[in-house]
């Protein structure tokens, strides 16, 4: 160690011992986060920010995976106008047959079916009468299927998380950019009624400048673990550390902050607890010890954006806690929170235009009353909900979020509009899996978040849903 570094270390130790926290500016050592390589955009390829494709009068769809989530997706699509369900695929023939009966009972024609072989899904993608491939399988197959579908001329919609590694993410980005095919992640939580209403309020300026947002997936999966085919989800938690299921929290948070639409995530830091419940689950369901279990029971991630905003994300699927996506925002003029109760808080002058009793006492220390909250939510109900709320609640799917997600996908495809979520949203929300692992395994150090748009994060200003004129 050099004399300079030795003296700096001694000086720092003495300052800490004496309670002084300031270090002379001349001695500060800049710290660089771990840098993640961004591959160059292949020659002849252009960005897909705001990507549009020719209108499709009738969206012909094929489903890969009709198990836990897939069968409910097939049922929802029987209620969406302007679609044809052309093909169904699953490794298990009995599930394909069940999905076929769903079509018949709804009055729709039977679809072509594929099952029994590991690569049967490729036959579905090879068909020339399909516009969209809808992927609802286990995580490890998502990216491969998405890439293959686009390479064979199909748009693709992939369940969450759509990719688990950076290599998979870049493969999806490059294929979408090259083929000019849409690649959308099926993140339903961005269509939640409270969250979409709050997004509309934010876009109308009600919260002022949004500085901080929070999100999470806190959901005890104890009743579900036995139903994941071949135990794939618990096995993934056993093999990988980090926030491997961040998209439910990330999606609404990133839309509030206009990520890659005027701002971008720049740096993250992650940490986790030790794994306690995970190894017990392996013992319970697989009858073996798991000293190698990787995923901590609880994972936390902190993100800073290019423009100085912050995001806090959590993940816990192991322990007994009430379900929470921890949706929250802090702005210069207001605050919103969904869990455990839905509430708003504002500077009084921000909401004087809202109908409220004359005696209503507004202050910045407590949430507004239910009367004011309900008035606000009526006034700022999102146009998507104004159009679809009644049908969504009737059809269902997580209270209607799933139906709205599918309906909007079809609406945009039929009208040649940019999708509500593009391939860069997919990348930014999914990259948490690998980036948080890198941070945790290197002593919780900062990690730079790649610019997945490769320079085009400022091309569009502000997140907006697309509509016809």
**Residue 11, Ramachandran bin (φ over 0: left; ψ between -120 and 50: alpha; else beta):** alpha
Q: What is the pLDDT at residue 446?
A: 98
Query: What percent of the chain has a predicted confidence (pLDDT) above 90?
Result: 88
What are the tens digits of pLDDT across the range 308-352?
A: 999 999 999 999 999 999 999 999 999 999 999 999 999 988 776
Percentage of residues in the chain having pLDDT higher than 70: 91
pLDDT at 442 over 80: yes
pLDDT at residue number 350:
79
- CA 229 – CA 226 distance, rounded (Å): 8
Q: Is residue 406 within 8 Å of residue 419, measured between CB atoms?
A: no
- Report how far residue 310's alpha carbon sits from residue 448's, in angstroms, rounded to the nearest whole number: 14
Residue 72 confidence (pLDDT): 96
Return the sign of the alpha-carbon dihedral for residues 452, 190, 140, 124.
negative
* Eight-class DSSP state of 35: P
Measured between alpha carbons, how far is 59 from 86 in angstroms, rounded to an integer? 10
Average pLDDT, the chain: 93
**Closest of 1, 34, 5 to residue 443, by C-alpha:** 34
Partners of 64 in beta bridges: 89, 135
Give the pLDDT confidence score for residue 365 in this predicted structure.
84
**Stretch 125-140: mean pLDDT:** 97
What are the residue ranges spanned by the domains of the chain?
Answer: 59-185, 189-384+422-448
- What DSSP string runs through 415-436? HT---SS-HHHHHHHHTHHHHH
Q: Are the folds of 59-185 and 189-384+422-448 the same?
A: no
Mean pLDDT for 386-407 is 95
Q: Element (H or E) spanning 375, and its range? A: helix 370-379
26 pLDDT above the threshold of 80: no
For the chain, how are helix, strand and coil distributed in percent, rounded to 5?
A: 40, 15, 45
What is the three-class DSSP state of 228? Answer: coil
Given a cut of 90, whether residue 132 has pLDDT beyond it is yes
User: What's the rounded Cα separation, in Å, for the pair 409 and 432?
Assistant: 24
Considering the entire predicted model, what is its pTM? Answer: 0.92
- Is 29's pLDDT higher than 70? no
Q: Determine the pLDDT at residue 348.
A: 84
At 289-304, the pLDDT tens digits run 999 999 999 999 999 9
Please write the tens of the pLDDT for every residue from 334-344: 999 999 999 99
Separation between Cα atoms, residue 452 and residue 455, nearest integer Å? 8
Distances in Å between the Cα of 102 and the Cα atoms of 83, 108, 127, 137, 345 are: 15, 9, 22, 19, 45
- pLDDT tier at 18 (50, 70, 90 boundaries)? very low
What is the CATH topology of the domain spanning 189-384+422-448?
A: Dihydrodipicolinate Reductase; domain 2 (3.30.360)
- Show Cβ contacts of residue 355 under 8 Å, excluding neighbours closer than 6 positions: 375
How much is the average pLDDT of 156-183? Answer: 98
DSSP letter for 69, please.
T
- Assign 16 a pLDDT band (cuts: 50, 70, 90): very low
Q: State residue 359's pLDDT score.
A: 55
CB 403 within 8 A of CB 414: no
Q: Give Cα 49 distance to the centre of its chain.
A: 17
- ∠ CA(329), CA(196), CA(77), 5° rounding? 140
**Which tops the pLDDT comparison, 416 or 354?**
416
Instruction: Give the count of beta carbons closer than 10 Å to the beta carbon of residue 370.
Output: 11
Q: What is the pLDDT of residue 353?
A: 63
Residue 14: its H or E element? helix 3-18
Which pLDDT value is given to residue 363?
78
Fold annotation for 59-185 = Rossmann fold (3.40.50)
CB 144 within 8 A of CB 165: no
With a cut of 60, say whether residue 465 has pLDDT above it: yes
Question: Please, which pLDDT band fits residue 58 given cuts at 50, 70 and 90?
Answer: very high
pLDDT tens for residues 235-263? 999 999 999 999 999 999 999 999 999 99
- Identify the band that residue 356 occupies on the pLDDT scale cut at 50, 70 and 90: low
Residue 280 CB partners (closer than 8 Å, separation 6+)? none
Confidence (pLDDT) at 358: 57
Q: Which residue has the higher pLDDT, 234 or 363?
A: 234
Contacts of 374 (CB under 8 A, 6+ apart): none
Q: Which one is predicted more confidently, 149 or 357?
A: 149
- For the cut 60, the answer to whether the pLDDT of residue 214 exceeds it is yes
């Amino acid at each position: 160690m050099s004399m300079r570094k030795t003296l700096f270390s001694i000086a720092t130790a003495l300052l800490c011992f004496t309670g002084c926290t300031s270090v002379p500016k001349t001695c500060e050592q800049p710290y660089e986060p771990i840098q993640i390589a961004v591959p160059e955009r292949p020659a002849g390829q252009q960005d897909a920010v705001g990507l549009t494709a020719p209108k499709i009068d009738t969206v012909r769809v094929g489903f890969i995976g009709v198990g836990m989530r897939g069968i409910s997706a097939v049922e929802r699509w029987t209620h969406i106008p302007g679609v044809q369900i052309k093909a169904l695929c699953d490794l298990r023939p009995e599930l394909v047959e069940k999905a076929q009966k769903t079509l018949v009972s709804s009055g729709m024609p039977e679809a072509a079916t594929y099952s029994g072989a590991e690569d049967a899904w490729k036959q579905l993608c090879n068909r020339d009468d399909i516009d969209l491939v809808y992927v609802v399988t286990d995580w490890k197959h998502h990216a491969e299927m998405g890439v293959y579908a686009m390479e064979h001329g199909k748009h693709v919609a992939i369940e969450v998380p759509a990719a688990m590694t950076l290599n998979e993410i870049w493969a999806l980005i490059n294929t979408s950019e090259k083929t000019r095919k849409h690649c959308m992640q099926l993140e339903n939580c961005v269509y939640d009624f409270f969250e979409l209403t709050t997004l509309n309020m934010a876009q109308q300026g009600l919260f002022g400048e949004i500085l901080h947002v929070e999100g999470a997936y806190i959901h005890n999966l104890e009743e579900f673990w036995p139903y994941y085919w071949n135990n794939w989800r618990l096995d993934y938690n056993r093999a990988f550390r980090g926030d491997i299921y961040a998209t439910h929290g990330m999606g609404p948070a990133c839309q509030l902050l206009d990520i890659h639409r005027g701002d971008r995530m720049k740096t993250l830091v992650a940490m986790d607890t030790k794994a306690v419940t995970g190894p017990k689950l392996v013992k319970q369901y697989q009858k073996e010890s798991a000293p190698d279990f990787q995923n901590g029971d609880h994972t936390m991630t902190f993100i800073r954006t290019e423009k100085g905003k912050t995001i806090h994300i959590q993940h816990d699927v192991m322990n007994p806690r009430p379900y929470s996506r921890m949706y929250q925002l802090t702005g210069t003029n207001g605050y919103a929170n969904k869990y455990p109760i839905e509430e708003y808080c504002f500077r009084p002058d921000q909401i004087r235009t809202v109908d409220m009793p004359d005696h209503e006492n507004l202050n910045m220390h407590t949430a507004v009353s239910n009367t004011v909250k309900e008035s606000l939510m009526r006034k700022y109900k999102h146009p998507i909900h104004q159009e679809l709320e009644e049908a969504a609640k009737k059809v269902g799917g997580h209270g209607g979020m799933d139906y709205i997600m599918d309906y909007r996908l079809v609406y945009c495809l039929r009208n040649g509009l940019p999708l509500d979520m593009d391939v860069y949203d997919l990348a930014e929300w999914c990259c948490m899996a690998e980036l948080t692992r890198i941070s945790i395994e290197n002593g919780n150090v900062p990690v730079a978040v790649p610019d997945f748009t490769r320079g085009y994060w400022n091309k569009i200003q502000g997140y907006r849903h697309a509509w016809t004129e």
